[in-house]
């Protein structure tokens, strides 16, 4: 009877009273199938010899398990000598007469590995040497990593290697309508578990994870993003559109990305004016009211010289000289020289943009006719600033020397330099001086003056730029900054003298002189490369671990220097903890050993809940190891891809808050990461995100995303701020740009920034002002923060402390996360339609 009191069939033997027992039971032939190693699970009961009287010499408490490999499935005669012993099997639990009486079943389960098996199949055999046994069941099985779908790739059933420490590398095949991004791979472990997912497939253009894009939507890049609504002024009628077509009258220039709205040529320039003196004619105008939705606005100037009859005009560009030139002007002004003194010139200014050539309509122009006969009122002399206060500027100028008619008054035109295009103000004065008031403190203004006589207005004087003074607070601040700058520059001149002799305290101070201002109570990071002897840096910032405290359990990945493993670390008096262990493989040179340990010397200086914690290093024995806390969910990018759509916005913002807090800590310490990206963030089982991958130049060597720039630097282009790409200006502000990209990666569940665009196209689009659009389901507040991080001017980007407090406010007030970018967009589409 089994434990549920149901009858079962067993093989039994119980010749415990007779000596020299040798009883055999043999299985049928068992096909090996795909297995190389098989497992045999035996369930049996065994009688305790002590509980049987008079059997002390003859009763046994073990039996033997054997196997024999053959290719033939039938007709093999049983010859015990051909059999190989697998093991002697003993019971953990044996039963007594009393147990029998109480109907207690003491069932034993034992598993043995058999292999490698090379023939087509095998027999199992059991040898009894005098025990009292009942064999209840024999289960023979092998382990395989089962067919699976991961990251849109399928992986076939795979049998592990016999050698349990090596993994089988398996390449996945992309599912229909998906294509390879990085070769999708999984590793099949000895226990039949799939490990270390690498690479992935992504949905082809025109497809999202379940469907083709609907009409009105498109998907231009392969990737696991959703189809997007057609950009403004474009449409798609059919399904699975890779791009949306432009509405009539709107166009897409050759280099415009498919995500960009369709645009049209600009309207004509406005407010065309001239300013004439003996040798120079200045033409000025305001930009068109409609730029067509583009930023690549330029102007062309054409000239006609007309005789007394206005219809008898001839082209005159070749007679005159235009500075900087007649075509492709980017500023709304041009200077004309070499003109005749008594002529009528008609100038036509046309505005153009990147799609002007695509439109068949004539280009709208602004026209002005200039007579170089200067009979009218004359220009005033140079404009001088007499004084300035925070809200006023006093100007004066010389009266025109000869005026045929009396001067009625002067008109002073002025505007804020930064807002040239928005509006201007004017004031009149009879005297050749004026106090312009109502101005903003510490702001640049542009002024020009013209004279009015009975014959009309003169042309405007050239423009003069003057600044109002700052208020007191501003003055104090700028003085402090000035003083700080002064002392920094004195330090930096002599810093190379003492670099080699510095203590770590000196080095901390040196960082400070390099531009980092330490915070009271916060340590400053010391660059381990400033040590003459790198071993000293390792010694100072890391703890040596005795390798006997480390137990390596499995390989979880491969780094540039060797395997990355998971395992356990014992510390006397403390609870054993899970750790990740990076190893340095043998055959390294000293330089590689230092490159490997540099990361530990950096990590060892940090102590923050959002920075990966260094437990210690092994340097006194081989292999050299770096031991860090174990992060159960691995790197953030693959974690998010595996859990696409699984988290609430608050959870995602919580992850971003953690990363920002870690980065705030690093920037407060004066450490610039240079390779902040979701792939370099690790996630633990509580979804806490921690910044990892330190090592300055080395991290970039390691990072598969880092590409060589034209100046020879190796940089992860998609994550890097423009000034760092162009002239290697890395700073906490460039880290803030990368943080914006990480925000985008998080909100899009691990999508690749800028999808399939080439690095070159990414650089050009950023330069032209293109920025990543909000991912699906992204709250407006978060996309606004991303855009803030991607400001071209690095000083305008938020500091990490601002980012942390902003995210904290969102978390405290979750309703601020409700407006989604797509909701706002569709509402504005409805408004437009109405
Ligand atoms: N891979 C690299 N470092 C790791 C860590 N600390 N935990 C888990 N996986 C890792």
Set out the domains of the chain in order of their start, with CATH numbers: 11-141 (2.60.120.260), 148-203 (2.60.40.1770), 270-372 (2.60.40.10), 382-468 (2.60.40.10), 528-629 (3.30.200.20), 636-698+714-828 (1.10.510.10)
Ligand 1 pocket test: pick from 627, 631, 684, 702 the residue with the most ligand atoms within 8 Å of its Cβ.
Answer: 631
Q: Are 739 and 676 in contact (CB under 8 A)?
A: yes
Beta bridge partners of 544: 617
Ligand 1 pocket test: pick from 556, 578, 582, 596 the residue with the most ligand atoms within 8 Å of its Cβ.
Answer: 556
Q: Three-state SS for 312?
A: coil
Question: How far is ligand 1, taken at its centre, from the CA of residue 603, in Å?
Answer: 14
Q: Is 682 in the pocket of ligand 1 (CB under 6 A)?
A: yes
532 Rama sector, left if φ>0, alpha if ψ -120 to 50, beta otherwise: alpha
Q: Which of 564, 618, 623, 595 is nearest to 694 (CA)?
A: 595
Quote the pLDDT of residue 253: 94
Quote the pLDDT of residue 826: 62
Encode pLDDT of 301-350 as tens digits. Answer: 999 887 666 667 788 877 788 888 899 999 999 998 777 766 778 899 99
Residue 582 annotated as part of some ligand binding site: yes
**Pairwise CA distance, residues 266 & 83, whole Å:** 91
Q: Is 556 in the pocket of ligand 1 (CB under 6 A)?
A: yes
Query: Of 18-27, 207-216, 624-633, which gets the smallest average pLDDT?
Result: 207-216
Residue nearest to atom 9 of ligand 1 (CA): 634
Q: Are 751 and 677 in contact (CB under 8 A)?
A: no
Is 117 a residue whose pLDDT tops 60? Answer: yes
Q: Helices 800-812 and 780-789, interaxial angle, to 10°?
A: 180
- Cα 827 vs. chain centroid, distance in angstroms? 30
Encode pLDDT of 218-266 as tens digits. Answer: 988 877 778 889 999 999 988 889 899 999 999 999 999 888 999 999 9
Is 675 a residue whose pLDDT tops 70? Answer: yes
Encode pLDDT of 570-597 as tens digits. Answer: 999 999 999 999 988 877 888 889 989 9
Q: Is 630 in the pocket of ligand 1 (CB under 6 A)?
A: yes
Atom of ligand 1 nearest to the CA of 559: 2
**Pairwise CA distance, residues 313 & 567, whole Å:** 88
Mean pLDDT of 739-760: 94
**Pairwise CA distance, residues 232 & 250, whole Å:** 10
Read off the pLDDT band of 443 (50, 70, 90). very high
Question: How far is ligand 1, taken at its centre, from the CA of residue 628, in Å?
Answer: 8
Mean pLDDT of 391-404: 78
Read off the pLDDT band of 722 (50, 70, 90). very high
Mean pLDDT of 2-15: 87
Q: What is the dihedral of CA 513, 518, 522, 526, to 10 degrees?
A: -20
Burial class of residue 78 in the structure, from the number of CB atoms within 10 Å of its CB (0-12 exposed, 13-18 middle, 19+ buried): exposed
**Pairwise CA distance, residues 38 & 192, whole Å:** 12
Q: Is 580 in the pocket of ligand 1 (CB under 6 A)?
A: yes
Quote the pLDDT of residue 246: 95
**Pairwise CA distance, residues 357 & 725, whole Å:** 32
Q: Is 631 in the pocket of ligand 1 (CB under 6 A)?
A: yes
Is 601 a residue whose pLDDT tops 80? Answer: yes
Quote the pLDDT of residue 754: 92
What is the DSSP annotation of 234-273?
EE--SSS-SSPEEPTT-B--TT--TTSPPB------EEEE
Is 479 a residue whose pLDDT tops 50? Answer: no
Mean pLDDT of 689-695: 92
Question: How far is ligand 1, taken at its centre, from the CA of residue 557, in Å?
Answer: 9
Quote the pLDDT of residue 831: 52
Cβ-based neighbours of 175, under 8 Å, separated by 6 or more: 149, 152, 153, 154, 201
Encode pLDDT of 500-544 as tens digits. Answer: 334 455 455 444 434 566 555 667 899 898 888 888 999 999 999
What is the DSSP annotation of 158-174?
BPPPSSTTSPEEEE-EE
Residue nearest to atom 1 of ligand 1 (CA): 634
Q: Catalytic annotation on 808?
A: no
Atom of ligand 1 nearest to the CA of 629: 6
Q: What percent of the chain has pLDDT over 70?
A: 86
Strands (E) in 504-624, as ranges, are 550-558, 563-569, 577-583, 614-618
Read off the pLDDT band of 701 (50, 70, 90). low
Question: How far is ligand 1, taken at its centre, from the CA of residue 629, in Å?
Answer: 8
Ligand 1 pocket test: pick from 557, 564, 569, 690 the residue with the most ligand atoms within 8 Å of its Cβ.
Answer: 564
Q: What is the mean pLDDT of the chain?
A: 84
Question: How far is ligand 1, taken at its centre, from the CA of residue 797, in Å?
Answer: 31
Residue nearest to atom 10 of ligand 1 (CA): 634
Beta bridge partners of 141: 39
Ligand 1 pocket test: pick from 692, 694, 695 the residue with the most ligand atoms within 8 Å of its Cβ.
Answer: 692
- Token pair of 523, please? 């340590």
Q: Is 105 in the pocket of ligand 1 (CB under 6 A)?
A: no
Question: How far is ligand 1, taken at its centre, from the CA of residue 549, in Å?
Answer: 19
Is 404 a residue whose pLDDT tops 60? Answer: yes
Cβ-based neighbours of 613, under 8 Å, separated by 6 or more: 603, 606, 607, 628, 629, 690
Distances (CA, A) of 249 to 192, 297, 321, 355, 411: 61, 18, 35, 10, 42
- Token pair of 88, please? 């002697």
Residue nearest to atom 8 of ligand 1 (CA): 631
3-state helix, strand, coil in the chain (%, to 5): 25, 30, 45
Q: Which residue has the higher pLDDT, 261 or 555?
A: 261
**Range with the largest mean pLDDT of 104-113, 139-148, 375-384:** 139-148
**What end-to-end distance do the CA atoms of the chain give, in Å?**
81
Q: Are 332 and 287 in contact (CB under 8 A)?
A: yes
Question: How far is ligand 1, taken at its centre, from the CA of residue 778, in Å?
Answer: 29
Is 445 a residue whose pLDDT tops 60? Answer: yes
Quote the pLDDT of residue 713: 61
Q: Which residue has the higher pLDDT, 381 or 669?
A: 669
**Pairwise CA distance, residues 534 & 320, whole Å:** 68
Beta bridge partners of 280: 337
Quote the pLDDT of residue 56: 82
Residue nearest to atom 3 of ligand 1 (CA): 580
What is the DSSP annotation of 342-358?
S-EEEEEEEEE-TTGGG
Question: How far is ligand 1, taken at its centre, from the CA of residue 599, in Å?
Answer: 14
Mean pLDDT of 166-171: 86
Q: Which of 270, 259, 253, 258 is nearest to 359 (CA)?
A: 253
Residue nearest to atom 6 of ligand 1 (CA): 630
Q: Is 441 in the pocket of ligand 1 (CB under 6 A)?
A: no
Mean pLDDT of 187-216: 83
Q: Are 124 and 140 in contact (CB under 8 A)?
A: yes
Q: Which residue has the higher pLDDT, 323 or 695?
A: 323
Q: Which of 490, 466, 486 is nearest to 478 (CA)?
A: 486
Quote the pLDDT of residue 455: 65
Encode pLDDT of 37-65 as tens digits. Answer: 999 999 999 998 988 888 888 999 999 99
**Pairwise CA distance, residues 250 & 264, whole Å:** 5
Q: Which of 256, 595, 668, 675 is catalytic?
A: 675
Q: Is 216 in the pocket of ligand 1 (CB under 6 A)?
A: no
């Amino acid at each position: 009877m089994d434990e549920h009191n149901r009858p079962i069939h067993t093989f039994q033997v119980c010749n415990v009273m007779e000596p020299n027992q040798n009883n055999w039971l043999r299985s049928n032939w068992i096909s090996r199938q795909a297995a190389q190693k098989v497992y045999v699970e035996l369930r049996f009961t065994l009688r305790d010899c002590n509980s049987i009287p008079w059997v002390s010499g003859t009763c046994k408490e073990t039996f033997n398990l054997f196997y024999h490999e053959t290719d033939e499935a039938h007709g093999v005669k049983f010859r015990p000598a051909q059999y190989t012993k697998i093991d002697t099997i003993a019971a953990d639990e044996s039963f007594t007469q009393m147990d029998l009486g109480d109907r207690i079943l003491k069932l034993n389960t034992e598993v043995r590995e058999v292999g490698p098996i090379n023939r087509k199949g095998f027999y199992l055999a059991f040898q009894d040497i005098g025990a009292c046994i009942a064999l209840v069941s024999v289960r023979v099985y092998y382990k395989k990593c089962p067919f699976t779908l991961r990251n849109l790739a399928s992986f076939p059933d795979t049998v592990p290697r016999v050698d349990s420490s090596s993994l089988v590398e398996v390449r996945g095949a992309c599912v229909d309508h998906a294509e390879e991004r990085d070769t999708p791979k999984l590793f099949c472990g000895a226990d039949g578990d799939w490990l270390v997912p690498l690479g992935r497939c992504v949905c082809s253009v025109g497809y999202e994870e379940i469907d083709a894009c609907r009409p009105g939507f498109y998907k231009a890049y392969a990737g696991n993003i959703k189809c997007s609504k057609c950009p403004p002024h474009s449409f798609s009628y059919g399904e699975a559109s890779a791009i949306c077509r432009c509405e009539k009258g709107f166009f897409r220039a050759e280099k415009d990305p498919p995500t960009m709205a369709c645009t049209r040529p600009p309207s004509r320039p406005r407010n065309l004016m001239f300013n004439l003196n003996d040798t120079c004619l200045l033409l000025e105008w305001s930009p068109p009211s409609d730029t067509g939705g583009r930023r690549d606005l330029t102007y062309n100037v054409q000239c006609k010289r007309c005789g007394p009859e206005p219809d008898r005009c001839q082209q005159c560009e070749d007679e005159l000289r235009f500075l900087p030139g007649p075509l492709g002007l980017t500023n709304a002004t041009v200077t004309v020289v070499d003109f005749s003194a008594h002529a009528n010139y008609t100038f036509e200014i046309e505005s153009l943009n990147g799609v002007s050539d695509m439109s068949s309509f004539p280009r709208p122009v602004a026209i002005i006719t200039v007579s170089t006969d200067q009979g009218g009122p004359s220009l005033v002399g140079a404009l001088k600033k007499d004084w300035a206060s925070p809200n006023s500027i006093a100007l004066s100028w010389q009266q025109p020397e000869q005026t045929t008619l009396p001067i009625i008054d002067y008109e002073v035109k002025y505007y804020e330099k930064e807002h040239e295009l928005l509006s201007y103000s004017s004031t009149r004065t009879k005297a050749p001086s004026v106090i312009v008031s109502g101005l903003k403190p510490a702001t640049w203004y542009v002024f020009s003056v013209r004279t009015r006589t009975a014959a009309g207005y003169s042309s405007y004087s050239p423009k003069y730029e003057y600044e109002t003074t700052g208020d007191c607070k501003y003055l104090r601040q700028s003085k402090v900054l000035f003083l700080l700058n002064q002392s920094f520059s004195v330090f930096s001149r002599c810093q190379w003298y003492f670099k080699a002799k510095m203590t770590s305290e000196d080095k901390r101070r040196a960082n400070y002189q390099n531009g980092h201002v330490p915070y009271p109570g916060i340590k400053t990071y010391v660059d381990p490369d400033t040590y003459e002897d790198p071993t000293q840096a390792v010694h100072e910032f890391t703890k040596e671990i005795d390798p006997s405290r480390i137990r390596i359990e499995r390989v979880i990945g491969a780094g540039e220097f060797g395997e990355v493993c998971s395992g356990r670390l014992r510390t006397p008096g403390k609870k054993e903890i899970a750790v990740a262990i990076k190893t340095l493989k043998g055959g390294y040179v000293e330089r590689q050993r230092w490159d490997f340990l540099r990361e530990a010397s950096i990590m060892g200086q940090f102590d923050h809940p959002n920075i990966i914690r260094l437990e210690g290093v092994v340097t006194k024995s081989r292999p050299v190891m770096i031991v860090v806390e174990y992060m159960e969910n691995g790197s953030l990018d693959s974690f998010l891809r595996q859990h696409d759509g699984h988290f609430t916005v608050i959870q995602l913002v919580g992850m971003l808050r953690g990363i920002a807090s870690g980065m705030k800590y690093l920037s407060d310490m004066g450490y610039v990461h240079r390779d902040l990206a979701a792939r370099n963030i690790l996630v633990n089982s509580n979804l806490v995100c921690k910044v990892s991958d330190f090592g300055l130049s080395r991290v970039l060597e390691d990072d598969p995303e880092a590409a060589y720039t034209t100046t020879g630097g190796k940089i992860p282009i998609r994550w890097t701020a423009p000034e760092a790409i162009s002239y290697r200006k890395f700073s906490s502000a460039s880290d803030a740009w990368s943080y914006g990209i990480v925000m985008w990666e998080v909100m899009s569940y691990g999508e690749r920034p800028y999808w399939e665009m080439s690095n070159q196209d990414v650089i050009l689009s950023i330069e032209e002002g293109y920025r990543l659009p909000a991912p699906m389901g992204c709250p407006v507040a978060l996309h606004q923060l991303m855009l803030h991080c991607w400001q071209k001017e690095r000083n305008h980007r938020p500091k990490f402390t601002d980012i942390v407090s902003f995210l904290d406010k969102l978390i405290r007030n979750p309703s601020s996360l409700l407006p989604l970018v797509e909701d706002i967009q569709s509402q504005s589409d409805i408004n437009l339609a109405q």
